[in-house]
Every structure is written in structure tokens, then in C-alpha cells.
Amino acid sequence: MKINIGSSTLELVQGDITSETTEAIVNAANSSLLGGGGVDGAIHRAGGPTILEECKKLGGCPAGVAKITTGGNLAAKYVIHTVGPIFRGGDSGEAEILRSAYRNSLRTASENGIRSLSFPSISTGAYGYPLEEASRVALAEVMTYLEEHSDIDLVRFILFGKHAYEAYEKALMSLSKEKSRKV
């Protein structure tokens, strides 16, 4: 599924983010930036040791913040590392931290002249954020950013598996409807 926002495109794809050809891919890292499981492990395995060498010099990354390295052996030129919230029931500021993780990743892309980037579904694996809620937060934040900034041409969400893809598709359909009602 694909929608246009101003001159930008927002696209949902089912797949594996390590084979993405956008200029940057975003990593759902942990705050040490020293590697982990899930998408983080997959990115480091596919990108090779130079990404970890660069990460070691960054001094970690608090939740909601984003940092950048090169893409090592990946097709993507850059990896933007961000850290989502650990879900603790929803009343501990998780949504705001998740919004910040997306917003700061997009800002990092803009600051580095990156025009296309791909996101995984941050926090919905080991960090336990329910997909239905996380997908709405993620998409709403990216849509707002693209409405306000024209420098990014393409944002892709690479959803790992059918279940994640369908949750994002449902959220995007409902958010687009809500927006068109407001116009």
C-alpha cells in the first residue's frame, strides 16, 4: 500500500529491511548500541563489523534519540539507529518515546541530506509494544513529518510478516480516512 503526502511517498511493504535499497535504513536498537537480537541482530549480520565499530564510538543512545552510522556492506548507505520504548502497559510515556524515535530518525535523515529511508516496526518485537497501537503512533508521526517537510521523497515501512503488514495497512487506511475528513 502506498499514499502520497505532498510531494512525498509513504509506502508499506512486507519484507526484510536488510535488503532494502533506500538510502538509509532505521535500526530498532537497544540503548547500548552494541548489538542485540531481532532486527538489530539481522542488520549487524548483514552489514558486517564496520557498523558495530562505528556504534562503539557513539556512546550509546537513550530511548527516543537517533544516531547515524554508515551502512557497511548493506545496499543502504546509512543506518540510523534509534531506540524505542519498552512497553510497560501504556501509561509510562511509551507513546511519546515512540513518537520521538520516529521524529528524531526523520530529523537525522534530513540533517544528512537523506531523501529515502526505511523503518522497521520499532518496539513491537522484544520490547512488547502492541502492533495495533504502535502502528498508529508510527504512521501518524511519519505522516505529520512529511506534511511539514518536503526534503524527504520516500518513507517505507518494512513489515516483517503478514500480521505486521496487515496491522499497518489497517492503521494507514484509518488514518488516511480521518485526515481526509478533516480537509
Q: How far is the CB of 71 from ligand ADP (least distance, A)?
A: 14
Q: How far is the CB of 34 from ligand ADP (least distance, A)?
A: 14
Q: Which of residues 54-93 bind ligand ADP (CB under 6 A)?
A: 84
Q: Does 25 bind ligand ADP (CB under 6 A)?
A: no
Q: How far is the CB of 150 from ligand ADP (least distance, A)?
A: 27
Query: Does residue 179 contact residue 144 with C-beta atoms inside 8 Å?
Result: no
- Residue 102 or 127: the one with the smaller Cβ distance to ligand ADP is 127
How deeply is 144 buried, as exposed, middle or buried, from its count of CB atoms within 10 A (0-12, 13-18, 19+)?
middle
Q: Taking contact as CB under 6 A, which single stretch among the options 1-9, 32-40, 52-60, 137-145 is the one that binds ligand ADP? A: 32-40
Q: Strands 8-14 and 2-5: what pairing?
A: antiparallel
Task: Select from 5, 10, 24, 39 the one that contacts ligand ADP (CB under 6 A).
Answer: 39
Task: Select from 1, 2, 7, 16 the one that contacts ligand ADP (CB under 6 A).
Answer: 16
What are the DSSP E strand ranges found in 20-164?
24-28, 66-70, 78-82, 116-119, 154-159
How deeply is 10 buried, as exposed, middle or buried, from its count of CB atoms within 10 A (0-12, 13-18, 19+)?
buried
Q: How far is the CB of 98 from ligand ADP (least distance, A)?
A: 9
Q: How far is the CB of 68 from ligand ADP (least distance, A)?
A: 18
Take residue 80 and report the three cell numbers written for it.
540510523
153 is catalytic: no
Query: Does residue 1 contact residue 166 with C-beta atoms inside 8 Å?
Result: no
Number of shown-chain residues binding ligand ADP (CB under 6 A)? 20
Take residue 45 and report the three cell numbers written for it.
549480520
Residue 58: closest CA among 97, 29, 17: 29
Q: Which of residues 110-169 bind ligand ADP (CB under 6 A)?
A: 120-127, 158, 160, 164
- Residues forming the active site: 40
Q: Give contact residues for ligand ADP (rule: CB under 6 A).
A: 16-18, 28, 38-40, 42, 84, 120-127, 158, 160, 164
